[in-house]
Amino acid sequence: MKILITAPSLETSKNVSGISTVVNTIIANNVDHEYTHYLLGRPDQSNSLTYLFVFIRQLMFFPIILKREKIELVHQNLPFDPKGLMRESVINFWCYLFNVPVVLHIHGGAFLMQKNPKKIWRFLSSALFKHSRQVLVLSELEQAALLSFHNFGGAIVLSNSIAVSDYLYNLRQPINEPPVFLFLGRLHESKGLDDIYDAFCVLKQQLLSFRFVLCGSGPLMESVKSKFEKLLGSDFDFRGVVSGEDKVAAFIDSDFFFATLTLWRRFADGFA
């Protein structure tokens, strides 16, 4: 099958994105299908005005790719936030016009765990759900949130996957002394970094020893580095963007890995 899949740049040197990591894994492990990566999303460190023209071109050029490559299925990756909704709604509409089925893959976002605050966002999300053949979420928690906050009960769960063999060949049983915590991803306010900082403050107040390894890049990089350096001193290790063997080593040498925390807090607040 000829599948077009939307995502930011798949090169970690240009963009730190969990979506890109997932897409790389999907393409690498589905060799029976022919994938076309369609670049959508703003690269890190890009100029806003320059990107605006690139963005418009990406949206307008999309139907040409659909026809030229004879695409049979479009796999849309949606960060459920204002920018993601606006961008992917245009892509979804092109697919609707050309009668190309869509799999809509939701990857977190500001709107996922709360009701859309404005009518325009509610309209766009409803249209996306309606015109997609299948909607995917990453967990049962997100599946329940779509039903509760967005009145959509048709999503199925597809957890993010990794190449497990890369991470199992040298696993240790004993925990480090002191234990090592790892965060790897985009340094953005949606990723729960404030929650991690607050948790570490509690651990420090209890005089517990631990180390924190932070890997990634993003708009909060300098402020996040400064906060954790001040709190942890030499027990804080910032490594920037890691990939390949360095990424595998970061996991193998750590004891605890942080997933995104803010989604859980918002979900709990929504039912309070």
Q: Is residue 262 over pLDDT 50?
A: no
Higher pLDDT: 103 or 20? It is 103
Instruction: State the pLDDT at residue 43.
Output: 62
Residue 200 sits in the same domain as residue 252: yes
Q: How many domains does the chain have?
A: 2
Residue 272 located in a structural domain = no
For 205-230, b/e burial (b = at least 16 CB within 10 A) is: eeeeebbbbbbbbbebbeebeebbee
pLDDT grade for 83, boundaries at 50, 70 and 90:
confident
Instruction: State the pLDDT at residue 175.
Output: 81
Residue 82 sits in the same domain as residue 148: yes
In tens, the pLDDT along 104-113 reads 999 988 898 8
Instruction: State the pLDDT at residue 55.
Output: 78
Cα–Cα distances (Å) from 198 to 165, 184, 191, 228, in that order, read 34, 18, 14, 11
Residue 143 sits in the same domain as residue 229: no
Residue 153 sits in the same domain as residue 45: yes
Could you tell me the CATH number of the domain that includes residue 52? 3.40.50.11930
DSSP 181: E
Whether 102 and 133 have beta carbons less than 8 Å apart is answered as yes
Residue 79 located in a structural domain = yes
Whether 149 and 184 have beta carbons less than 8 Å apart is answered as no
Residue 137 sits in the same domain as residue 240: no
- The residue range of the domain holding 224 is 169-267
Mean pLDDT, to the nearest integer, of 69-77?
97
Q: What whole-number distance in Å separates Cα of residue 91 and Cα of residue 146?
A: 21
DSSP 180: E
Could you tell me the CATH number of the domain that includes residue 244? 3.40.50.2000
Higher pLDDT: 258 or 71? It is 71
Percent of the chain exceeding pLDDT 90 equals: 53
Residue 128 sits in the same domain as residue 183: no
Q: What whole-number distance in Å separates Cα of residue 14 and Cα of residue 85?
A: 23
Residue 37 sits in the same domain as residue 140: yes
> Of 43-57, 121-135, 211-225, which range is least confident?
43-57
Residue 81 sits in the same domain as residue 214: no
Most confident of 3-7, 52-56, 176-180: 3-7
Instruction: State the pLDDT at residue 253.
Output: 87
Q: Is residue 271 over pLDDT 60?
A: no
Mean pLDDT, to the nearest integer, of 130-135?
97
Cα–Cα distances (Å) from 31 to 38, 103, 269, in that order, read 18, 18, 42
Residue 84 sits in the same domain as residue 113: yes
Residue 177 sits in the same domain as residue 224: yes
Residue that finishes a domain, picked among 157, 188, 221: 157
The rounded mean pLDDT for the chain is: 86
pLDDT grade for 143, boundaries at 50, 70 and 90:
very high
Q: Give Cβ neighbours of residue 134 (< 8 Å, ≥ 6 apart).
A: 103, 104, 154, 156
Most confident of 48-57, 169-178, 242-251: 242-251
In tens, the pLDDT along 31-46 reads 999 999 999 876 655 5
Q: Is residue 131 over pLDDT 90?
A: yes
Instruction: State the pLDDT at residue 168.
Output: 66
Residue 206 sits in the same domain as residue 134: no
Residue that finishes a domain, picked among 157, 186, 214: 157
Q: What whole-number distance in Å separates Cα of residue 264 and Cα of residue 232?
A: 25
Residue 163 located in a structural domain = no
Residue 178 sits in the same domain as residue 82: no
Residue 162 located in a structural domain = no
Instruction: State the pLDDT at residue 248.
Output: 84
What the block records as the tokens of 172 is 């240790």
